[in-house]
């Protein structure tokens, strides 16, 4: 689903995902209908010592006003939670791409996540601490507001309770939630970063299954969505860290193909198909007057327009790809090039061709690294 930038804070784009725009009216209806108002009025009364006239809270359109203001207030609270993460990350000199609010809360997207356990710990714990600060402020507001403003007092009390729950829920050790990242940070004090990630990810997957079971038994759609999110994010993070470990210390120049097969841009698709069958090279560098202009692969050949392939040239089916320096970090380049076309690039140093980079190069490098480490460990 698409996300829309609504503002910037500390030069960080604040975005709202379409899923949130759909969910907010539903959340407002859930808060303002049924027994929710009576339930939370009782909870708020217990810790403020001041009761509510339930008839006034239920009169006319008041429940819907409460629902809308509380729902918006919740996602303002979530924004503060993510800004807590971001503030600490900025103090460590890290960049934040954006903060996105969506159906399951918020997500502060850091360009890189620190491997130092203490930095990850403080970045992760800053979110729940921010939620507790918001809860404290809302609690003070609920105490200070007079009984003549029951709607405002109810909303402040509701936000105080909800932010405490938000902080506690986020501290569950279900990676990649905040508690899972805190767990990984603490594990990283005694274990290698990769091992700490795999332990935290396994625990996260366990929580994902638990949430899924509870969600199915209680017909809680949000819990099911959360279970899918945690499972996907935990397994992805574990694989990403494994890739980072395998590619540690390698540059693009170390893994690139330095003598790639080439084909002239003016070559017909028919002739190119015959050549690819003969030389069995899955990727070719496309040249024009000996200058590299793009890449063509077997997938591009298969996607060629139907018709007379003797009248279609390689230039028409090739892809223009990024140019990267051979000294660039192999893992960082993989992250930058991720997308539908895969990690494919032309490798150049000061305009001079060095080679080509493809998914096959990464696969070969990781296979060699894995075999080398297994051999050394054995």
Verify whether residue 82 is a known catalytic residue: yes
> What is the average pLDDT value for the chain, to the nearest integer?
81
Of 29-38, 96-105, 350-359, highest mean pLDDT: 350-359
The reply to whether 262 and 235 lie within a common domain is: no
Write down which residue in 194, 229, 246 finishes a domain.
246
Sheet of strand 262-264, all strands in order from the earlier edge strand to the far edge: 262-264, 283-288, 291-297
The reply to whether 168 and 257 lie within a common domain is: no
Place of tokens 């009169």: 59
- pTM for the full predicted model: 0.67
The reply to whether 270 and 207 lie within a common domain is: no
The reply to whether 86 and 179 lie within a common domain is: yes
pLDDT of res. 341: 59
pLDDT in tens, 256-272: 888 888 888 888 888 88
The reply to whether 78 and 131 lie within a common domain is: yes
Q: Which of 68-77, 223-232, 343-352, 355-364 has the lowest mean pLDDT?
A: 223-232
d(CA 135, CA 48): 13
**Beta-bridge partner residues of 295:** 285, 319
The reply to whether 239 and 285 lie within a common domain is: no
In degrees and rounded to multiples of 5, residue 189 shows phi and psi of: -70, -30
The reply to whether 44 and 130 lie within a common domain is: yes
The reply to whether 303 and 369 lie within a common domain is: yes
The reply to whether 227 and 272 lie within a common domain is: no
The reply to whether 315 and 185 lie within a common domain is: no
pLDDT in tens, 279-327: 777 788 888 887 888 888 877 777 777 766 677 888 888 888 888 888 8
The reply to whether 348 and 207 lie within a common domain is: no
Domain span holding position 305: 252-377
Which CATH number does the domain housing residue 271 bear? Answer: 3.10.580.10
Write down which residue in 212, 230, 246 finishes a domain.
246
pLDDT cut 90: percent of the chain above it: 6
Q: Which one of 82, 120, 237, 245 is the catalytic residue?
A: 82
Q: How many domains does the chain have?
A: 2
């Amino acid at each position: 689903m698409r996300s829309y930038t609504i503002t910037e804070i500390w030069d960080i784009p604040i975005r709202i995902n379409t899923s949130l725009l759909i969910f907010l009216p539903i959340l407002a209806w859930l808060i303002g209908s049924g027994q929710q108002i009576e339930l939370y009025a009782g909870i708020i009364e217990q810790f403020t010592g001041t009761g509510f006239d339930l008839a006034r809270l239920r009169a006319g359109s008041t429940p819907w006003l409460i629902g809308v203001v509380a729902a918006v207030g919740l996602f303002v609270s979530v924004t503060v939670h993510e800004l807590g993460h971001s503030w600490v990350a900025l103090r460590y000199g890290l960049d934040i791409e954006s903060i996105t609010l969506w159906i399951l809360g918020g997500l502060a997207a850091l360009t890189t996540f620190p491997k130092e356990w203490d930095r990850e710990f403080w970045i992760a714990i800053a979110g729940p601490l921010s939620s507790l600060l918001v809860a404290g402020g809302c609690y003070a507001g609920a105490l200070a507001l007079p009984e003549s403003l029951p709607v405002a007092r109810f909303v402040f009390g509701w936000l105080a309770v909800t932010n405490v729950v938000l902080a506690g829920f986020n501290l569950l050790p279900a990676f990649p939630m905040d508690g899972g990242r805190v767990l990984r940070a603490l594990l990283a004090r005694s274990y290698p970063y990769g091992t700490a990630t795999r332990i935290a990810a396994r625990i996260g997957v366990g929580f994902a299954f638990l949430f899924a079971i509870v969600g199915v038994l209680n017909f809680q759609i949000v819990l099911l969505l959360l279970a899918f999110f945690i499972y996907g994010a935990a397994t992805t993070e574990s694989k990403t860290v494994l890739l980072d470990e395998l590619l540690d210390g390698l540059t693009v120049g170390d893994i690139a193909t330095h003598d790639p097969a080439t084909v002239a841009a003016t070559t017909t698709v028919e002739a190119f198909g015959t050549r690819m069958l003969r030389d069995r090279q899955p990727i070719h560098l496309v040249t024009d007057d000996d200058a590299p202009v793009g890449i063509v692969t077997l997938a591009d050949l298969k996607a060629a327009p139907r018709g007379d392939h003797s009248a279609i040239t390689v230039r028409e089916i090739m892809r223009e790809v990024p140019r990267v320096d051979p000294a660039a970090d192999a893992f960082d380049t993989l992250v930058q090039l991720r997308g539908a076309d895969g990690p494919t690039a032309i490798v150049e140093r000061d305009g001079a061709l060095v080679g080509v980079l493809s998914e096959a190069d990464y696969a070969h490098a990781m296979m060699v690294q894995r075999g080398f480490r297994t051999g050394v460990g054995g």
